[in-house]
Amino acid sequence: MNPRVVSVNAMDDYILELTFDNGERGLFSMKPYLEYPVYSPLKNYDLFRKAHAVFGFVSWGDEIDMSPDNLYLESKITA
């Protein structure tokens, strides 16, 4: 099982700065996902900035979230 997200910071250019429960930090670009219907509402930058960690996932409310496996495997680990 991959690490889970414990904190998230929504940054400029649709980048998520993530901290995982193993202590690693990473950067994840949401840009490629914004064309998928489920993620297209995040093109609204005010909504994108509301990203928060919930049970290891990154969530933007009841209908939009991203799995910790995807976030970890596709992040550029920075520390």
Q: What is the pLDDT, as a whole number, of residue 79?
A: 73
Q: Of 44, 62, 56, 63, give the one whose Cα is nearest residue 19.
A: 56
* Token representation of residue 30: 């949401």
69 confidence band (pLDDT: 50, 70, 90): very high
Number of domains in the chain: 1
Query: What is the pLDDT, as a whole number, of residue 35?
Result: 96
Domain interval for residue 30: 5-77
Q: Which CATH number is 70's domain given?
A: 3.30.2020.10
Say yes or no to pLDDT of 1 above 90.
no
> Please, are residues 53 and 5 in contact by the beta-carbon 8 Å criterion?
yes
